[in-house]
Amino acid sequence: MKLLNNRVALPLIFALVVPILAACGGTAAPSVVRETVVVTAEPVRETVVVPQTVVSEAPTAEAPTTPSAFTTPHPILGDPRVRQAIAYCTNRAELIQSVYSYLTPEQQQGLLMDTHLPKTHWAAAGEADGIVTYPFDPDKGKALLDDAGWTLPEGATVRAKDGLPLSLEFTTTNAQFRITWATVLEKQLLDNCGIQIIRKHAPGSWWFGSASGLRRRDYELGAFAWVGEADPGGRTLYACDQIPLPDNNWNGQNYMGWCNETASKAITAANNTLNREERIKNYKAFQVEFTKDMVSLPLFQRLEAYGWNKALKNMKPDPTEYITANAYEWERSDNGNTIVLGFTQEPDTMFTLVSSAAVQRQAAQLVEGVLTTQYNYDFQPVLQDGLSTIESGKAKNEVVEVKDGDKVWDATGAAVELKPGVEIINSDGETIKYESGTVKMNQLTVTYDLISGIKWSDGEPLKKADLELSVKIVCDPESGNVSLTFCESHDNANGVTVTSDTSYTVKFLPGVQWPTYYLAPYGGYPSHVTVSDGRKLADVPAKDWATLPEVAELPLGYGPYILKEWNKGQSMKFEANPNFVLGAPKVQNVVIQIYADTNAAVAALLTGEVDILEKATLGAGPEVETVLKAAAEGKIEAKTDASPTWEHMDMNLFVR
């Protein structure tokens, strides 16, 4: 599984940080949905990232087409008391123990969530904010069921009401991981509270399919995972206008059919302001309603683990950042001059623009450096000279008047010509349908500065032409960039203006309000490089870049290391960049060694052949237990993290 949307400097491709469907969601930002699907071909622990774009689809012959579909409350789940009872009757600590038995009770407790955000997230709400928590309390659950009329007949094991048993179909993938904890859940609900669930473990291709499973709300109780990031997003997951229905061509990802006006307005407002304090206030208001209504039970965050040589210093494993982000700070206490990372997957290319794999991002960070990091669900400038916030004076959000025929950013997050019938978000944050005349909208202009003194690894200073080349390639449809949404959000008349060797300004279309507007979207490409046929890199058409060795295999960068040798299928060898702007790294060499599988990589760590196994390589399978035991014996260092990926159980509030 990849850690999502890390920003790198060559170039830094802008994309909103959004919850993603492991299954996925989004805001009005780029509409590409990345699905993490657990596939059952042995071994079942494998996690596959499948790109998929949400599109409008014509109703199929099998799909209902009447507007009345999904307007009838579910006879069981339509009652909030039943949903709350399910939450109280679920022993989530026991579910965690079933899949992560090798963790200590404290580590297991650290995987619990109360809302749709991890407890350490900057927008997370707590009990002091008024959220409802659901500790394991079967007595409270049974009392709620009794109050709702679901009673346990003499001698029965399943509750009933008016002759209807309290029985629900529970759908999830057929990955062993989910089979394990779902088996425990089934027993818990029946034994603790008389709730019967009939488990249905479906292939991921059906459960996450574009015309089946979740997308067609074909479930009662459904479990899958969201992948959270530093920016909470969430509007398409929970707003009232994001409920997929046959009459809206199944658009939206509010699969529960949940419409709470207070929550919907709050999460919409949270995604339509650039003021963080306002965002926090609105996100907290949303979480109060989310927990009160109990339409989706957060089960637990998945585990991530790391292992490394005891001689290494300044390691910064983190749930929302790659371990290589601070490679320039790594040291060895044993005076060694090489650090070896063990990977079980090889990067497909060094051309970051066309790749999204975690292993590629980590190799790229060594060569390209990072403009900003995203440790602990937040952002920190590195090669960017401070975050370009409104408060810093580097950004302004002005109210402008737009009229018929003007280019604007509509309410769905697309660049359109304003005309009657187009929905837009006005300067007051209201979604309105344009009719005529002038309307006021917000227009964002941001200046981004990189720190001074940046040089390419060959000693050539970063210059204006490098920044201009980056913008040109990133926004060229023939470059292979998987999403041009950010480029399309530029104001066509002004777009991007590069003002110096380290500074540029982006003027956005009226209506564009990227929540992470303060992160520099572009780094540079080395315009001075001469490619093998004698042309300057700046003169090579964008369509040819992906096949250039100077881009895809041994690129020039301004990060802490230089990629000197790539033996495909075996290893990648990096040397310290003496021209790195933050100072030459203290460790001279970094090697990425490719192993056949996680077991082989763990064995290499324990024998000292490998110095670091990061989370994407180590995963969360039984190999983690081996690493943790070795750490307990003092052989290596190890750390576990609560992953941004979290399992949850949704409740479908309506029936067809």
Beta bridge partners of residue 300, listed in sequence order = 647
Whether cis (ω within 30° of 0) applies to the bond prior to 11 is yes
CA 349, CA 637: separation in Å to the nearest integer? 31
Q: How far apart are CA 68 and CA 518, in angstroms?
A: 44
Cα of first residue to Cα of last residue in the chain, in angstroms, is 34
Question: In whole angstroms, how large is the CA radius of gyration of the chain?
Answer: 26
pLDDT for 256-306, tens place per residue? 999 999 999 999 889 888 989 999 999 999 999 999 999 999 999 999 999
Q: In which residue are the tokens 């290319």 written?
A: 349
Looking at the domain 384-507, which fold is it?
Dipeptide-binding Protein; domain 1 (3.90.76)
Which amino acid makes up residue 121?
H
- The pLDDT score that the predictor gives to residue 273 is 86
Q: Tell me, what's the pLDDT at 390?
A: 94
Task: Please state the φ and ψ torsions of residue 165, each to the nearest 5 degrees.
Answer: -70, 150
CA distances in angstroms from 552 to 352, 364, 365, listed in the order given: 8, 11, 14
- How high is the pLDDT of residue 68? 63
pLDDT tens by residue, 561-573: 999 999 999 999 9
pLDDT at 20: 30
- The reply to whether domains 70-301+647-655 and 384-507 share a CATH topology is no
Measuring CA to CA, which residue among 522, 555, 525, 545 is closest to residue 12? 522
Specify whether the backbone of 619 is left (phi greater than 0), alpha (psi in -120 to 50) or beta.
Answer: left
Query: What ranges in 90-214 are assigned the alpha helix state H?
Result: 92-99, 105-109, 138-147, 176-193, 204-207
Residue with tokens 């009329």: 149
As a whole number of angstroms, the distance between CA 428 and CA 426 comes to: 5
520 and 384 in contact (C-beta within 8 Å)? yes
How many CA atoms are closer than 13 Å to the CA of 56, on its beta-carbon side? 4
Compute how many other C-beta atoms are within 10 angstroms of the C-beta atom of residue 285: 20
- pLDDT, residue 15, reads 30
Q: Which residues lie below 8 Å from residue 175, measured CB to CB, with a gap of 6+?
A: 38, 39, 40, 44, 45, 204
pLDDT digits (tens, 9 = 90+) for 196-244: 999 999 999 899 998 899 999 999 999 999 988 889 999 889 999 899 9
Enter the pTM of the model: 0.83
Whole-number Å distance between alpha carbons of 605 and 602: 5
Give the architecture (CATH level 2) of 310-380+558-635: 3-Layer(aba) Sandwich (3.40)
Enumerate residue ranges in the chain where pLDDT < 50.
Answer: 1-67
Separation of alpha carbons 613 and 603, rounded Å: 11
Question: What pLDDT, on a 0 to 100 scale, did the predictor assign at position 69?
Answer: 82
At the topology level of CATH, where does 70-301+647-655 sit? Dipeptide-binding Protein; domain 3 (3.10.105)
Write the DSSP symbol of residue 136: S
Residue linked to tokens 């850690």: 3
Q: What are 537's two structure tokens?
A: 């890199």
pLDDT of residue 27: 28
pLDDT value of position 7: 35
In the chain, where the domains are located? 70-301+647-655, 310-380+558-635, 384-507
- Tell me, what's the pLDDT at 556? 97
Contact 370, 382 (CB under 8 A): yes
Helix and strand tally (H, E) in the chain? 16, 29
